[in-house]
Amino acid sequence: MTGFLIDGLPPTEADLRYLAIVNYGAYTSFRVDAGRVRGLDLHLARLHASAIELFGEAVGEDRLRDLMRLALGDRRDAWLRVSLFSREILPHSPSARGRPSVMIVVSPSPPPLAGRMRIQARTYVRDAAHLKHTATFPLIHARRVAREAGFDDALFADADGLISEGSLWNIGFLEGDCVVWPEAPMLEGVAEALISRGLAAVGLTERHAPVHLIDLDAFDAAFLCNSATPACPITAIGDHVFGAAPGRIDRLARAWSSNAPQPI
C-alpha cells in the first residue's frame, strides 16, 4: 500500500496541479527495515544541502524525522521517497526563497535492480550532477534506449569518454583488491558512501581516479550500487566484457551491510 503526504497532510488538488506542471526540486529515497535506515545520516545531509542550494533555507532534521515517522505510521518496513519542492517557484517567477515543502511517498520496498547487468555507454552529463534532483526525463530516456538496443541499463560518459555514473546508480571498478571510483561530475551516492565506509572491514581498499571508456581493459570487474542494490556485477559495458568476481562482489555487499541501520 502506498501513502502520500505533503507537509504531513494529504495532497490537495492545487498541490497535484503544481507537481504535474513544475519540475523543480530534489529528493532522496531509501529502504526502511524494522524502522531503521542504513545511511540515514547521509540522506538527511543530502536533503539539507539540496534545500539550501535550491530554496535558500533548510527544512531541519527534526521536522524531516517527524514527517517521516508520520508518513510511516505503524509500518516498520517500507520504501520512502522524500522530496522537496516550493509552490512559490514557477517558470515565470523562479526567485522565491524559503523553507520548501516536504512530500513523502511510502511504498513497498523494490527488489534489487538485477543480479547482473549489461550496460550501454551513452554520451551525457546530468545538469547539476551533484544534486539528486527531479529532472528524470533524461534518465528514463537513456534506460529506454539502452533496453531497446538489447542492454539492461545506461552508463553516462562525457564527450571525451570520461565515465561518471549510471542512470540510477553509481559505478565502481575492481583492480585486484582495490575499488576504483570514477572522478567526474556526478551524484555522490549513499550506497557508494556506505560501501566506502565498510571496505577496510572486508579487506578491500579504494581510490578515486578519472576513468575513461578506453581504460576498461585495466580493470578486472565492474559493479553498480544504489540504495536498492548494494552491489550488482556489471558483465559488460558495450562490447567490453568483464570477468566474474563473485567473491569480491560479496565482499562489497558485506561492506555495505556492515553499516548499522539508524533509527528514524
pLDDT tens-digit map of 30-42:
999 999 999 999 9
Q: Is there a domain that residue 112 lies in?
A: no
241-251 per-position pLDDT tens digit: 998 888 899 99
Q: What percentage of the chain reaches a pLDDT higher than 70?
A: 99
Closest CA to 126 of 59, 40, 26: 26
Sign of CA dihedral 37, 183, 154, 82: positive
Residue 21 above 80 pLDDT?
yes
Give every CB contact of residue 140 below 8 A, 6+ residues apart in sequence: 167
Q: What is the pLDDT of residue 113?
A: 83
Q: Are residues 236 and 162 part of one domain?
A: yes
| 141 & 81 share domain | no
- Tell me: do 96 and 68 sit in the same domain: yes
Q: If pLDDT is split at 50, 70 and 90, which confidence band does 264 have?
A: very high
Q: How many domains does the chain have?
A: 2
The pLDDT assigned to 115 comes to 83
pTM of the model: 0.94
pLDDT tens readout for residues 103-120? 999 999 988 888 889 999
Same domain as 231, residue 153: yes
Question: Crossing angle for the helix pair 61-72 and 40-55, nearest 10 degrees?
Answer: 120
State whether 7 and 85 are in the same domain: yes
In a domain, 264, yes or no: no
For residue 237, the domain's CATH number is 3.20.10.10
Q: Domain end: 80, 107, 134, which one?
A: 107
Domain of 25 in residue numbering reads as 3-107
177-209 tens-digit pLDDT? 999 999 999 999 999 999 999 999 999 999 999
| 44 and 96 within one domain | yes
- Strands 26-32 and 262-263, by their bridges, are unpaired
Can you give the pLDDT at residue 112? 83
Nearest partner of 180 among 149, 212, 202, 158, judged by Cα = 212
